[in-house]
């Protein structure tokens, strides 16, 4: 965390990028020159007046902007299945067997939005994917709160302001990657008129139980996200063949 002064007023740069800040930054990233953009992202993060930032020391503004950008994942982000925020432990879906149709529909509705619309819904997507852990046997073997739209909305507002965007970016990549690779194991991939999410939804309706035992190897915490994905796909493929 760093601080700076502007016109005798002190501002603080957090050591992470919130979902709200990430959304604002990427909505304007292609609208300005590099120099103006550097001042704009500091304005977004701290609310420091843009006019004063444009008149401030060039090297100072460039350094602070670079520091902010260093906290934005530029490559495929690492998938993290749990985190703590304000004293509450939150976990990603621990058991896909229990994924409800309501959850899947909400994920489908959000994830199929256009890129600019999706940016404004990342906090809601995070609130669907991550919920309070209510019981746990080990770090990666736990149960989360039952899906509820009302508590999801409250959690979404908290995540919007306080959650590091790296969590939802990693979870989103993991989920989309699973959806794409799952289709390659299924005959549904040969239906050209259906989107990935519609095919996944159709498969859910046909065989909800294909998600059973997907996370059975999570307990020892030794699986990487890639290995975990392979385990999911193998179990799904076996379940589909048995049907």
Domain ranges of the chain: 2-69, 82-242
What pLDDT does 179 receive?
57
Which of 36-45, 95-104, 128-137 is predicted least confidently? 95-104
What lies within 8 Å, CB to CB, of 224 at 6+ separation is none
- The backbone torsions φ and ψ at residue 242, rounded to the nearest 5 degrees and listed phi first, read -60, -30
Answer whether 129's CB lies under 8 Å from 92's CB.
yes
Is the model's pTM score more than 0.85?
Answer: no
pLDDT of 147 over the 70 cut: yes
**pLDDT at site 114:** 79
**Between these two residues, 19 and 35, which has the higher pLDDT value?**
19
Average pLDDT over every residue of 217-242: 48
Spell out the residues 6+ positions from residue 97 whose beta carbon is closer than 8 angstroms to its own. Answer: 208, 209, 211, 212, 213, 214
Mean pLDDT for the stretch of residues 53-76: 87
Q: What percent of the chain has pLDDT over 90?
A: 37
Q: Report the pLDDT value the prediction gives residue 140, as an integer from 0 to 100.
A: 86
């Amino acid at each position: 965390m760093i601080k700076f002064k502007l016109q005798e007023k002190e501002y603080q740069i957090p050591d992470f990028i919130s979902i709200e800040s990430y959304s604002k930054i990427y909505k304007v990233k292609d609208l300005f020159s590099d120099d103006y953009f550097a001042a704009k992202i500091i304005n977004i993060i701290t609310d420091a007046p843009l006019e004063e930032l444009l008149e401030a020391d060039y090297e100072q503004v460039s350094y602070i902007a670079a520091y902010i950008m260093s906290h934005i994942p530029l490559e495929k982000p690492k998938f993290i299945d749990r985190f703590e925020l304000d004293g509450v432990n939150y976990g990603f879906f621990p058991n896909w067997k229990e994924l409800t149709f309501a959850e899947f529909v909400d994920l489908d509705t959000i994830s199929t939005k256009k890129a600019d619309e999706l940016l404004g819904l990342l906090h809601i997507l995070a609130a669907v994917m991550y919920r309070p852990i209510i019981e746990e046997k080990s770090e990666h073997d736990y149960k989360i709160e039952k899906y509820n739209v009302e508590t999801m909305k409250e959690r979404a507002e908290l995540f919007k302001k306080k959650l590091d965007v790296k969590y939802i970016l990693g979870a989103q990549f993991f989920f989309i990657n699973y959806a794409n690779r799952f289709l390659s194991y299924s005959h549904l991939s040969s239906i050209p008129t259906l989107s990935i999410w519609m095919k996944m939804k159709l498969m859910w309706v046909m065989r909800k139980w294909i998600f059973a035992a997907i996370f059975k190897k999570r307990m020892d915490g030794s699986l990487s996200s890639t290995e975990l994905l392979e385990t999911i796909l193998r179990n799904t493929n076996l379940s589909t063949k048995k049907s």
